């Protein structure tokens, strides 16, 4: 008896996703609890496990948007595991899936195996129209996905004439300007993660009274301390000593002294704004991934040692890059730190991560001429970093924001403050 493959409940506010790829092809055997497809949501990409062992019969295509609770295929449990490692013969299509339209107008029908190739809907249509086997095309899209430009190039290469192939857009749109010598343009769908990022960034700028204040910090003390102890630190704790643990500790100190920067503005049931105070320090660390920026949360930073913070950050960064973050990893942060310096940014104005009221931006460390604090009136070359604090002026006053940033600066320039909680 077939068992339905159902999109599971995904947690807070997640109601739909996009089938990023089928990990098991139609007609392929899968074991129970083995991931059968990757589902992309506006927060994470997750694997959907097989509810039973058997043969996969997919009813929804790659790239389709599906709701939580919807059926995307079945598992035929009566079909046993393959007797050998030899590839199984192509299985018939699942019920409800329309077979490919027969070729017409003298064109060749595409290879049935091409249905397993990741390709855009327009690319599939073009391949069918021009008798091109998608399996013979090297895709240039994300994850090797075949795009319409790849199909057109294959048609041109086959003809040997280099003639352009005209393609009708699926929807009416203004005529694009003629391509210049350098080539043309292309369009592709925005991922759900990028859609969500865009939505939240615009929302933050439209709903918050966002303001940014700047300061600079002399990183000499932190760099010296790190250089002196990094080898023994890693040997003892099994994790490297980075800059982020110092910044997390410095921010915790600042948040304790200025708790409104650690608060949130929320709406009650009547739609009225309320201030939600937090007696904990769960700091979100922005992490760049190939699919976009994610912000996993390090819990209880006030209770963690430097090694505990570094270990937590490393674990979350690995999970983010491997696409293994859970929804719980992304929820509940009270403050955010983002490090544009790893990409070479000298200065920026970070955007709030709602409903938080503060976000700290780190930047590149550059040697600059500054007044020598040990010898007033004299100039010295120091490793300096610009700090940027964006905050919600509806809740946090400018004086508090400036003092918070000064607290972070002082803690980093005198790291012993972090040990003594000064």
CA distance 153 to 229: 56
CA distance 139 to 123: 10
Give the residue numbers marked as catalytic: 393, 397
Give the DSSP H or E segment for 257. helix 244-257
Distance of CA 40 to the CA centre of its chain: 10
CA distance 410 to 102: 73
CA distance 250 to 243: 11
CA distance 108 to 135: 15
The three-class DSSP label of residue 58 is strand
For residue 30, what are the CA distances in angstroms to 58, 91, 183, 187? 12, 14, 44, 35
CA distance 15 to 100: 31
């Amino acid at each position: 008896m077939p068992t339905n493959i159902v999109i599971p409940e995904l947690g807070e506010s997640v109601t739909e996703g996009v089938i990023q790829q089928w990990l098991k092809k139609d007609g392929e055997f899968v074991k129970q609890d083995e991931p059968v497809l990757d589902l992309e949501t506006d927060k994470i990409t997750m694997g959907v496990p097989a509810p039973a062992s058997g043969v996969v019969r997919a009813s929804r295509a790659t790239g389709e948007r599906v709701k939580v609770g919807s059926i995307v295929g079945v598992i035929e449990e009566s079909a046993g595991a393959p007797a050998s490692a030899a590839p199984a013969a192509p299985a018939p299509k699942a019920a409800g899936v329309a077979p490919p339209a027969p070729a017409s107008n003298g064109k060749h029908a595409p290879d049935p195996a091409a249905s397993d190739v990741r390709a855009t809907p327009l690319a599939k249509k073009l391949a069918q129209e021009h008798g091109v086997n998608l399996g013979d095309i090297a895709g240039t899209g994300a994850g090797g996905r075949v795009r319409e430009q790849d199909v057109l190039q294959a048609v041109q290469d086959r003809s040997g004439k280099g003639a352009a192939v005209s393609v009708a857009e699926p929807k009416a749109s203004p005529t694009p300007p003629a391509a210049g010598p350098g080539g043309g343009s292309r369009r592709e769908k925005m991922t759900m993660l990028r859609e969500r990022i865009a939505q939240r960034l615009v929302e933050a700028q439209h709903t918050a009274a966002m303001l940014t204040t700047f300061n600079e910090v002399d990183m000499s003390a932190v760099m010296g301390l790190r250089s002196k102890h990094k080898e023994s630190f890693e040997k003892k704790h099994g994790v490297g000593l980075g800059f982020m643990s110092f910044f997390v500790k410095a921010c915790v100190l600042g948040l304790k002294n200025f708790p409104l920067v650690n608060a949130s503005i929320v709406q009650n049931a009547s739609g009225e704004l309320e201030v939600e105070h937090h007696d904990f320090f769960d700091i979100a660390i922005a992490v760049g991934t190939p699919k976009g920026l994610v912000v996993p949360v390090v819990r209880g930073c006030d209770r963690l040692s430097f090694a505990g913070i570094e270990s937590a950050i490393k674990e979350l960064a690995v999970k983010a890059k491997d696409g293994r973050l859970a929804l719980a990893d992304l929820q509940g942060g009270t403050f955010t730190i983002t490090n544009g310096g790893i990409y070479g940014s000298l200065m920026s104005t970070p955007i709030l991560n709602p409903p938080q009221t503060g976000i700290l931006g780190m930047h590149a460390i550059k040697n600059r001429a500054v007044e020598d604090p040990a010898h007033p009136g004299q100039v010295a070359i120091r490793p300096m970093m610009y700090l940027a604090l964006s905050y919600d002026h509806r809740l946090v006053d400018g004086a508090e924001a400036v003092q918070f940033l000064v607290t972070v600066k002082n803690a980093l320039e005198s790291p012993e403050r972090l040990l003594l909680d000064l």
